[in-house]
Amino acid sequence: GFNSLTTGDAAGDAAGNSYLINGAYPSPSGSLLRKVGPTGATLWEQAVPLIGLRVDVGPDQAPIVSGYPNSGFGAAFAKFSAAGAPLWTNLDADGPGVALLAHAQMKLDAAGDAYLAAGTMSQMAVTKVLGSTGASAWTALIPYGYAQAMAFGPAPTLYVVGGTTARIDGPQGPPPPPTDADLGLTLTDSPDPIRLSGR
């Protein structure tokens, strides 16, 4: 029941609340994130410093919004607490010179990290942002077309479809530290006993 410049999105939390994101109207920039309780009553509204297209709720019950920066293209993210307090903002998550457009889908993994499927004019793309800090983790570009959807495989695998189908294997992390070596030293002498001035 409120006007929107964008299609908008909705997500629910474990308590039965809904989070709605829309482009702010009539403002030319920014968005509104609205939390609605199980009975449909608005619990709070929060201004979001980006053109919000997608919203999802992580395992910590805090909503993450993705969309475009207020000017130009690219991938922008913001996270809020369940009470509506801003936690972090990343207005250039895909990195300088990428400028993603045609945002298709956002998903959060079990750790609360956010993934956005999108595209450039000629490539599919997926951008990952860390849910705990908002820091950009990586952006993968895949030849041909726009991304339409993605799905998680066994961690850290992600599948994306669109102009083609691709599997992205995320960073495996640093190699494990070396284990403690179990070393032993044995000394022997010969002959035993040694005679004084003996050969």
**Each residue of 41-100: pLDDT tens digit?**
999 999 999 988 899 999 999 999 999 898 888 999 999 999 999 999 999 999 888 889
Least confident of 131-135, 161-165, 177-181: 177-181
Q: pTM of the full predicted structure?
A: 0.80
Q: Does the pLDDT value for residue 12 go beyond 70? A: yes
pLDDT value of residue 184: 59
Report, as an integer, the average pLDDT of 29-43: 89
pLDDT band of 192, cuts 50, 70, 90: low
pLDDT value of residue 167: 93
pLDDT value of residue 72: 81
Q: Does the pLDDT value for residue 172 go beyond 80? A: no
**In angstroms, how far is the first alpha carbon of the chain from the final one?**
105
Q: Do residues 157 and 169 lie in contact, with contact meaning Cβ atoms separated by under 8 Å?
A: yes
Report, as an integer, the average pLDDT of 112-120: 94
Q: How far is CA 116 from CA 71, 158, 175, in A?
A: 19, 11, 27
Q: What is the mean pLDDT of the chain?
A: 84
